[in-house]
Amino acid sequence: MSNGVLVVVSGPSGAGKGTVVRRLIEKYEGIFLSVSATTRQPRQGEIEGIHYFFVSHDKFRSMIERDELIEHAEYAGNFYGTPADPVRERTERGEHVLLEIDIQGGVQIKKKLPDTVLIFLAPPSLEELEKRLRGRGTENDEVIRNRLNIAAREYAVAKEYDYIVINDTVDEAVERIHSIIVAESCRASRISL
Ligand code: ADP
Ligand code: 5GP
C-alpha cells in the first residue's frame, strides 16, 4: 500500500491549467482536485466549494493562524491557499491529489513535502498565451497585461519544477500529465512491499 501522489500544476494564467486539469479528472479515476481558499471575487459561473472557497480577508487570516493551509500566496492582489486536511486525507487513502496553484505555492509545498511532484504547464508561446487570455474574455485589458508580466517572471522559476508540459493540444497535455502521475506512483521510494 502506498500513499497517493501529490501533484502541483502551475503555469501562467491562460496557459490552460483549468481546462487540462478538468479533462484529466473527468477522464481518469482516482485523481482529485484540491479546492483552494481565496479572497478573490467569484468570476461569472464560479461556484462556492467547487471552484474555490471564497472567503473574506479576516477568514483567510484566521485560516493561516490556525495552520489550516499547507501553503498560501498573494497573486495579483488576492490571497490564495490550499486547505491541508482534505489533501492529507485523500493521499493517505491512496488517491492522487492535484493542486492548481501558482509557482510560489509550488516551491513552498516542495520544501514542506519533498515528495510533491511539480509540473509546469506552459503555453506553446507567449503570443498564444495572450490569445488564450483574451479569448477567455474573463479579464479586462489591465488585468491581462499584469498577468502577462507575471508570466514572464514565472518562466524563470519553471526550472525549479520537476516537469514541464507544453499545452499544445488539451488531449496531449492530459496524457503527458497522466503518464507522469503513473510513473511517479511506481517510484520505489513511495512503495513499501
Ligand atoms: P488557466 O486555468 O491556466 O488560466 P484556462 O484553462 O482558463 O487557463 O484556459 C485559458 C483559455 O485558453 C480558455 O479559453 C481555454 O478554453 C483555452 N485553452 C486551454 N487549453 C487550450 C489549448 N490546448 N489550445 C487552445 N486553447 C486552449
Ligand atoms: P485565478 O484568479 O485565475 O483563479 O488564479 C490565479 C492564480 O492563483 C493561478 O496561478 C492559480 O493557479 C493560483 N492559485 C489558485 N489557488 C491557489 C492556492 O491555493 N495557492 C496558491 N499558491 N496559488 C493558487
Q: How many angstroms separate the CA atoms of 103 and 161, rounded? A: 9
Q: Which residues form ligand 2's pocket by a CB distance below 6 Å? A: 13, 36, 40, 71, 73, 75, 80-82, 100-102, 104-105
CA dihedral 2, 97, 165, 18 (to 10 degrees): 170
pLDDT-wise least confident of 115-119, 143-147, 173-177, 183-187:
143-147
Residue nearest to atom 24 of ligand 2 (CA): 101
Instruction: Report how many helices (DSSP H) and strands (DSSP E) the chain contains, helices first.
Output: 7, 9
pLDDT digits (tens, 9 = 90+) for 122-135: 999 999 999 999 99
Q: Is the CB of 14 under 6 A from ligand 1?
A: yes
Distance, CA 42 to ligand 1 centroid (Å)?
A: 18
pLDDT-wise least confident of 16-20, 80-84, 96-100, 133-137:
133-137
- 139 has a pLDDT exceeding 90: no
The confidence score (pLDDT) of residue 1 equals 67
Q: What's the pTM?
A: 0.93
Contact, 117 vs 6, CB < 8 A? yes
For the segment 99-122, the average pLDDT, to the nearest whole number, is 95
Comparing 25 with 140, the larger pLDDT belongs to 25
What residues contact 36, with CB distance under 8 A and at least 6 apart? 52, 53, 80, 81, 82, 83, 99, 100, 101
For the segment 66-85, the average pLDDT, to the nearest whole number, is 95
Taken in order of first residue, the domains within the chain and their CATH numbers are 6-190 (3.40.50.300)
Ligand closest to Cα of 166 equals 1
